[in-house]
Amino acid sequence: MAKQRVLSGIQPSGKLHIGNLVGALQNWVKLQEQYECYYFIADWHALTSQYADTSQLKEYIKDVLVNCLSAGLDPAKATIFQQSHVPGHAELHVLLSMITPLGWLERVPSFKEKQEAVTDKDLNTYGFLGYPLLQSADILIYRANYVPVGIDQMPHLEITREICRRFNNFYGEVFPEPEGLLTEFPKVPGTDGRKMSKTYGNCIYLSDTPKEVEQKVRTMMTDPQRIKRTDKGDPELSPVYHLHKIFSTKEEQDQVAEGCRTAGIGCIDCKKILIKNLFKVLEPLWEKRNVFLEKPKDLEDIISAGSHKANNAASETMEQVRKAMKLDNIVSL
């Protein structure tokens, strides 16, 4: 039996951080063993909000690619590609736009939320409204069965399923209905306790040097009520403890939590344990990263071979789409 298909994408809208690693990349690496996986760099999606200044786009695309590979994505197992190198995504997007009621897009929660939250850019654009539909095209063009995403992306999956049904109703069964594979992961706090996000400047980046990682953890916020070494603290109020929950063993978690509550351990020592464990996860990544950065030609080959494979799969679907919509060759009349 043919393997089921998995598809997911990541936007090159900034450098990747440890939240992207535990929230997406590690899961992608697992899935490549079991499914036929398509993973891509969603550069067009990044343009929907960062169209005015594209000066850093290339750098971010490279950062995503290098980190995907360093985290263990294997081009021999998964197809790794760049969205803008597969024009079929745009063709399907325009065809799907014909059957998409405006209200469906206006109702997607991320549309209004992001428009309101982002004040330094004009997101009153056609491209930004169409963001979820472009995502639908990404998914449907590979006839993906599963789409691993975080909870924030679930509304985009829902609209994709609605578009899928609407298309199949009009033109016949072309697309299987994709399912979201919810990646359950605790929220990764940034160094100031808020959600880790480049807009807050509180990220530990995968491209940070060991020194930078150490420095960021050392100056990280802890329980704000624990001022003196002898003060007792509440680990739940410390973002350091929340990172321990992700990166440390159960024994270490219990040890630092108990130590925090009883003032048995100081914040510096608690942070040292976290630094040790972060290094354990990041060291193999740093090693591979350095190898890839020395061979830019290999990176280019990987992305162009992946995009070529993706193009083949996308073209097959597009032939069926054109046929279903009666846009194929009139000579066949």
Q: Is 331 helix (H, G, I), strand (E, B) or coil?
A: helix
Q: Judged by CB, which is closer to ligand TRP: 167, or 241?
A: 167
Helices marked H in the chain — which ranges? 18-20, 26-31, 43-50, 57-71, 88-98, 102-106, 109-117, 126-129, 131-140, 154-171, 210-218, 239-247, 250-262, 267-293, 296-324
Using an 8 Å Cβ cutoff, are 216 and 208 in contact?
yes
Query: Under rule CB under 6 A, which residues in 153-172 are in contact with ligand TRP?
Result: 153
Least spacing, CB of residue 259 vs ligand TRP, in Å: 37
Q: Judged by CB, which is closer to ligand TRP: 14, or 259?
A: 14
Least spacing, CB of residue 31 vs ligand TRP, in Å: 12
41 sits in which H/E element: strand 36-41
DSSP state of 25: I
Least spacing, CB of residue 199 vs ligand TRP, in Å: 14
State the Cα–Cα distance between residues 95 and 229, nearest whole angstrom. Answer: 63
Q: Is 9 helix (H, G, I), strand (E, B) or coil?
A: strand
Least spacing, CB of residue 106 vs ligand TRP, in Å: 18
Given 77, 187, 198, 323, the catalytic residue: 198
Q: Is 23 in the site for ligand TRP (CB under 6 A)?
A: no
Given 114, 272, 288, 323, the catalytic residue: 114
| Listed ranges 6-14, 93-101, 272-280, 301-309: which one lies at the site for ligand TRP (CB under 6 A) | 6-14
Q: Judged by CB, which is closer to ligand TRP: 149, or 217?
A: 149
CB atoms within 10 A of CB 236: 11
Query: Under rule CB under 6 A, which residues in 90-149 are in contact with ligand TRP?
Result: 135, 138-139, 147, 149
In sequence order, the 6+-apart residues with CB closer than 8 A to the CB of 53 are: none
Least spacing, CB of residue 132 vs ligand TRP, in Å: 8
- For ligand TRP (CB under 6 A), the number of binding residues is 13
Least spacing, CB of residue 114 vs ligand TRP, in Å: 10
Using an 8 Å Cβ cutoff, are 218 and 272 in contact?
no
Query: Under rule CB under 6 A, which residues in 32-61 are in contact with ligand TRP?
Result: 42, 45
Q: Judged by CB, which is closer to ligand TRP: 16, or 66?
A: 16
Using an 8 Å Cβ cutoff, are 129 and 177 in contact?
no
The residue within the footprint of ligand TRP, chosen from 5, 8, 78, 164 (CB under 6 A), is: 8
250 noted as active-site residue = no
77 noted as active-site residue = no
State the Cα–Cα distance between residues 235 and 254, nearest whole angstrom. Answer: 10
Token pair listed for 180:
């979201």
Q: Judged by CB, which is closer to ligand TRP: 8, or 70?
A: 8
State the Cα–Cα distance between residues 126 and 120, nearest whole angstrom. Answer: 18
**Which residue's CB atom is positioned nearest to ligand TRP?**
9
In degrees and rounded to multiples of 5, residue 181 shows phi and psi of -105, 100
Given 195, 232, 280, 295, the catalytic residue: 195
Binding site for ligand TRP (CB under 6 A): 7-11, 42, 45, 135, 138-139, 147, 149, 153
Would you name the residues annotated as active-site residues? Answer: 114, 195, 198
